[in-house]
Amino acid sequence: MLSIQHISKVFGPVKALNDISFDVPQGQILGLIGQNGAGKSTTFHSILNFIHYEGQIQWQGHAITATDFDQIGYLPEERSLMTKLTIEQQILYLARLKGQSAKIIRPQIDDWLARFAVKGTRRSKIKDLSKGNQQKVQLICTLIHHPQLLILDEPFSGLDPVNADLLKQAILTAKQAGAAIIFSSHDMENVTALCDQLVMLRKGNIVLHGTLEDVRNQFGKTELYVTTDWTSERLATLPHVTQVTSRHANHYLLHLDDANAGPAIFDALTQGHYIEEFSQQPPTLDEIFRLKVGEDQ
């Protein structure tokens, strides 16, 4: 388990992290979210001991040692490969830094290239690959030594939906193998799809922490999805409806200022008759993100 306890970091007048604490058990995925400058990369750099910090970070019950770094896979936000090398040379070079021998890694390369649908062979030069394929090679470098702790800084950046799905499957495979995984993303859909828990940072402070369900439920079931032949103007007259969003023909999202208004709205819309959809939900993670970030405006 990765344990982060009371971590703080100051850069001059800026408090980048302010007494943050959370754990990432093995076999779980934590999403670290927040605006640019919220402290996500500083958290990663603290775990990796790139910077000095106050507080305590432990892996498997002890301070992270040089040996432990062989079990860590790290994908930085700023991608960097040695463009004059071939794919094979690049993968083997970084694998050796993790204590892996070429004898073990070389036979795996073709399978990994196929898994990520890399358009190139092991002998292709990095400089001849597209940016997307270079990114996939760097992902392979991060994963090929089967790390027990994965730290991924904006791993989906620049990937199209097909390649993003390939990465999701690789992350879930690592989870099933028992890895502790922490990643940052501005795409709440990826966080929703993958994470067992999330931490939201704002100006170096944790403002939300818990499972996705727990976090959403903190905000109450104030989103109401309905199918009705009522017009949006008529729906807006219902008690406690603050906003009506048309999704498509006869399908609406009603925003409520009181979750308890649901039953009365149900009675008004149905009048004892069947309707196709009436679903009261907490806000989506996207909406919660905008709400919490909006507090800075």
**CB under 8 Å to 86, separation ≥6 — which residues?**
122, 123, 124, 125, 126
In a domain, 138, yes or no: yes
Same domain flag for 118 and 172: yes
In a domain, 269, yes or no: yes
In a domain, 287, yes or no: no
Same domain flag for 46 and 187: yes
Same domain flag for 52 and 102: yes
DSSP 140: H
In a domain, 290, yes or no: no
Place of tokens 């308890």: 260
In a domain, 297, yes or no: no
Same domain flag for 235 and 91: no
Same domain flag for 127 and 243: no
Same domain flag for 168 and 186: yes
Same domain flag for 15 and 90: yes
Tokens of 209: 């922490």
Closest to 170 (Cα-Cα) out of 147, 198, 186, 153: 147
11-25 pLDDT per residue, tens: 999 999 999 999 999
Query: Is the whole model's pTM more than 0.75, yes or no?
Result: yes
CB atoms within 10 A of CB 169: 12
- How would residue 294 be classed by pLDDT, with cut points 50, 70 and 90? low
CATH number at residue 194: 3.40.50.300
Same domain flag for 11 and 140: yes
**Percentage of the chain modeled with pLDDT above 90:** 86
Indicate the residue among 187, 217, 247 that finishes a domain: 217
Q: What DSSP string describes 79-133?
A: ----TTSBHHHHHHHHHHHTT--HHHHGGGHHHHHHHTT-SS-TTSBGGGS-HHH
What is the model's pLDDT at position 46?
Answer: 97
Element (H, E) at 180: strand 180-184
User: What proportions of the chain, in percent to the nearest 5, are helix, strand and coil?
Assistant: 35, 30, 35
Per residue, what are the HEC states of 197-264?
EEEEEECCEEEEEECHHHHHHCCCCCEEEEECCCCHHHHCCCCCEEEEEEEECCEEEEEECCHHHHHH
**Cα–Cα dist 4/202, whole Å:** 17
**Cα–Cα dist 256/238, whole Å:** 10
Structural domain tally of the chain? Answer: 2
Same domain flag for 69 and 140: yes
In a domain, 95, yes or no: yes
Same domain flag for 194 and 47: yes
Domain extent for 235? 223-281
In a domain, 177, yes or no: yes
Mean pLDDT of the chain: 93
Same domain flag for 168 and 55: yes
Indicate the residue among 191, 217, 243 that finishes a domain: 217
Element (H, E) at 7: strand 2-11
- The greatest distance separating any two alpha carbons of the chain, rounded to the nearest whole angstrom, comes to 72
In a domain, 45, yes or no: yes
102-148 pLDDT per residue, tens: 999 999 999 999 999 999 999 999 999 998 899 899 999 999 999 99
Same domain flag for 161 and 48: yes
**Cα–Cα dist 118/167, whole Å:** 12
* Cross-strand bridge partners of residue 35: none
Indicate the residue among 182, 217, 252 that finishes a domain: 217
